[in-house]
Chain A
Amino acid sequence: MIPTIPAIPFVPLGALADWGFVLRNADYLAGGLAITIALTIASILLGFAAGFPAGLIEVYGGRYSKALVGALGVLFRGTPIVVIIIVMFFVAGVSPAFLAATFALGFRSAAYQSQIFRGAIESVSGGQTEAARAVGLSRLQAIRHIVVPQALRRSIPGFQNEFTIVLKDTSIAFAIGLAELLTRSYDLFVQRTTAVLEVVLFASLLYFVLTFSTNRALDALGERFAIPGGEG
C-alpha cells in the first residue's frame, strides 16, 4: 500500500509554521551558538596573532622569510576550507574537534589577514618612515611608532569582511561533527523534517545578528580611532 504523503507544511509563516519546535529547542541551539561564537573569536585571534606578523614579514622580511610566509599563504588561501579542516582533524589528528576547527579556520584566516595588513602597511607612505629615520628613530622604532598604528587603522574595513567570513565559515566545523550552531540546527531538522526551514531561518537570523553587531562595533572602533582631518 502506498502511504499517503502528508502535505508538507514547508512554509515558515502562517498557520502551518512550526516555530514552537524551534522555541522548544532554543537551549540546544543556544549551546551551538556559544560554540560558534567561541570558535569565531579563537580563530580570529589566532588569525591575527599569525597574520599580523606575516603581513609585516611580507613587507619587511628577508628573502627566505618572505618566501616561506608567501608559500604558506598561497597554500592556505588556495585550499578549500573543508579540506583544511578535514586534514587538521583526521590526518594531522588535532583533537578535540574544537581545536582542529580553530587551527583550520585560524590559519586560513591568518593567510587572508596577512594580505589585509600587508596592503595597509604598504599604504602608509614611505616618506613617513623616512622622516622617522631622519629624526634618528631606528627602522624598528619607525615601524612600531609610525607604520603599525596607521596600518592597524587602515585594516579595519578589510578586517570587517574577514570577521564576517570566519563567522559564517565556522559552520564548516559540521564536517568534523563539532556541535556548533549549524551542526545543531541540522541535528534538529533531521529529527523534525517538517520544520527544516524554520530551523535554518532561525540559525541564519542568529548569524545575521552576530555579523551585523560586530560590524557595527568595528565601525565604531574605526570612528573612535579615525585620524582627525580625514585621510584614514
Chain B
Amino acid sequence: MSDPLLSVRDLRKSFGEEEVLRGIDFEMDRQDVQVLMGPSGSGKSTLLRCVNRLSEPDDGTITVDGEDTAAMDDDDLRREVGMVFQTFNLFAHLTARKNVSLGLRRVRGFAKSEAEDRAGEELERVGLADQADSYPAELSGGQQQRVGIARALAMDPKLLLFDEPTSALDPELIGEVLAVMRELADGGMTMLVVTHEMGFAREAATDLLFLDEGRILERGPPTQLFESPEHERTATFLRRLTDLEAGQHG
C-alpha cells in the first residue's frame, strides 16, 4: 500500500484564547471522498483551511503526497490542493472563462490561448460551456459554484477541498452542484468535503468524520455513522440533520 495522499497528525490551531482544533489525526488515500460534519464552531472550516495553509497551523504535521506542507511554498501546495468556497468567491470583474484561466496563466505559466482553451474544457466538464463569457453577476448561485469548481479543477489538484459548497445556495440549485461533485467523486478525484448534505455523504463518501469541539469524535463509513453511531452527540446531530432534511425535501 502506498503512502496516504493526505496525512494530518496532531493538528492544533487556536484563535486567541479559543482552541479551535485540539489535535486532529486522519489520513486520506487517493480517490477517497471524506465528508466532515459537525456542529457550527466545531472547527470544520479551520481544518480545511489548515490543509491548504490559508490558515497557519499552530502545531502538528500535514503532509500531501508525502511532502510536509510546512516546508512547501504556498503556491506549490495550492497547485496540489484546490479549494471550493461556500460563497463561491468568483472574481467579479472576470468572465467565467477568465476566472478559470487566471491561475493557469499566472501560476502554471500557460500561454493565453492555451489557458483559455483549457478553461473552456473545464467549464464544459461542469456543464457551463455556454456560459463561458458570462460574468459572475450574470450567473445563478449554482452556476457560480460550478465555475468555482472548474477554477479549482483547472489546476489539476491532487486533492480538492470543499468548504460547505452548497450551503449558500437556494434549495433548487443545490442539486446541480452536488451532481458535479458526485461525478468528480466517481471519476476518482480525492475530495475532502465539509457539508451537511446527507444524501451526498451517504452516496459518495468513503468515510464520514464527525467533528466536535475541535476533535474527531467519530469516524467510519457513512452507513455506520448514520445507523449505529457510537456517541450520543453524533446520534443527536445526525438525527437533527435528518429531520431537517425531511422537513425541507418532504
Taking Cβ atoms with an 8 Å cutoff, the residues of A that contact B are: 124-125, 127-128, 130-138, 141, 145-146, 149-150, 153, 227-231
Contact = CB atoms under 8 A, between A and B. Distances in A.
Contact of B107 (A125, A136, A153, A231): A136
In order of increasing CB-CB distance, the 8 nearest A-B pairs are: A229-B137, A135-B103, A131-B89, A229-B138, A127-B89, A136-B107, A136-B78, A136-B75
A149 to B, nearest CB: 5
B93 A130 contact: no
Interface in B100-128: 102-103, 106-108
Contacts of A145: 91, 102, 106
A119 to B, nearest CB: 17
B92 A137 contact: no
Contacts of B28: none
B73 to A, nearest CB: 9
Contacts of B91: 128, 131-132, 145-146
A137 to B, nearest CB: 6
The dominant DSSP class at the A interface is: helix
Contacts of A124: 92
B149 interface: no
A134 B52 contact: yes
A149 B79 CA distance: 24
Contacts of B151: 131, 135
A68 to B, nearest CB: 28
Interface stretch (B34-42, B80-88, B198-206): B80-88
A231 B152 CA distance: 24
7 contacts: A125-B89, A130-B54, A130-B89, A131-B89, A134-B152, A136-B108, A137-B102
B97 to A, nearest CB: 13
A137 B75 contact: yes
Given A128-B92, A227-B135, 12 more contacts: A125-B87, A125-B89, A131-B91, A134-B54, A134-B82, A136-B103, A137-B75, A145-B91, A145-B102, A146-B91, A228-B137, A230-B137
